[in-house]
Copies of this chain bind each other. A is one copy, B any other.
């Protein structure tokens, strides 16, 4: 695994820095995942703040360490807030993450996601269908992917090159690319898809890590942390309910040393 472009030690350092600095993460996300995303960020060591109204979203993006824009349940007012926040983040140099939930499957939000690409997200995170949909291809079924990351790898590389963003495609094996370099993470477990908002919260974690590390490392560290935490949590849980609680525990308990030891990169 020595061939990976990012080393386990770099991931561990990024987690160390996150916990030392507690980055402030502004989340503009959906009503389903808002609580879970805040709890994931708190457990991992970041400070979430859900400022998602148009009057305050821009000011706050200027003082945040990272911003998440997630299109899970968009309304007129939160669309406006996402526009304002992403523009303000771009102006202020605050890294922001775009999670284009259900892009490709629903034309209105696909168009919105394409529109805010102009505000230059540092990371674009989605499942294979969403990355395909954002690139003009077919979408998935609701929020679920109907494809695997490796099937959209060419689209992901192309999207990264055309937008300048790191593109992170989640799935059984997570694929993360900046258009040239590719990081694959082999941890994680199928039960993660049986708890709502795990993917959404990963976008929040990426925004937190982007406040302390460069984008490719940030997206990789966030993914590695939640996947290693999930590996641990599966071992002590009986089903999706106890798994969700154990996952939050593990996000707080996994040490940088443990992350370095357990992450499986290629």
> Measuring CB to CB, which residues of chain A are less than 8 angstroms from any residue of chain B?
24, 26, 30-36, 38-39, 42-43, 47-53, 55-56, 59-60, 64, 72-77, 102, 106, 108-109, 141-144, 193-197, 237-242, 244-253
| In-complex Cβ contact of A32 among B35, B195, B245, B251 (8 A) | B35
| In-complex Cβ contact of A56 among B52, B56, B106 (8 A) | B106
Given contacts A43-B194, A48-B142, A241-B246, 17 further A-B contacts (CB under 8 A): A26-B142, A31-B50, A32-B35, A32-B50, A39-B195, A39-B244, A48-B196, A49-B142, A50-B72, A51-B73, A51-B106, A53-B73, A237-B249, A241-B249, A242-B245, A242-B248, A242-B249
Q: Report yes or no: B33 in contact with A35, Cβ–Cβ below 8 A.
A: yes
Q: Report yes or no: B245 in contact with A143, Cβ–Cβ below 8 A.
A: no
| In-complex Cβ contact of A248 among B24, B74, B240 (8 A) | B240
Q: From residue A197, how far is it (CB to closest CB) to chain B in Å? A: 7
Q: Give how many copies assemble into the complex.
A: 3
Closest chain B residue, CB of each to CB of A143:
B49
Q: Report yes or no: B249 in contact with A240, Cβ–Cβ below 8 A.
A: yes
Given A197-B35, A252-B194, also A50-B24 (CB < 8 A): no
Specify which chain B residues have a CB less than 8 angstroms from the CB of A39 in the assembled complex.
195-196, 240-241, 244
Given A56-B108, A197-B35, A241-B249, also A75-B73 (CB < 8 A): no
Q: Report yes or no: B197 in contact with A47, Cβ–Cβ below 8 A.
A: no
State A238–B232 Cα separation when bound (angstroms): 13
Q: Report yes or no: A24 in contact with B240, Cβ–Cβ below 8 A.
A: no
Q: From residue A6, how far is it (CB to closest CB) to chain B in Å? A: 27
Closest chain B residue, CB of each to CB of A52:
B73
| In-complex Cβ contact of A249 among B36, B196, B239 (8 A) | B239
Q: From residue A257, how far is it (CB to closest CB) to chain B in Å? A: 17
A-B residue pairs in contact (CB < 8 Å), sample of 18? A26-B142, A39-B195, A39-B196, A39-B241, A42-B196, A42-B240, A43-B194, A43-B240, A49-B143, A51-B142, A53-B74, A60-B106, A64-B142, A238-B246, A239-B248, A240-B252, A241-B249, A242-B249
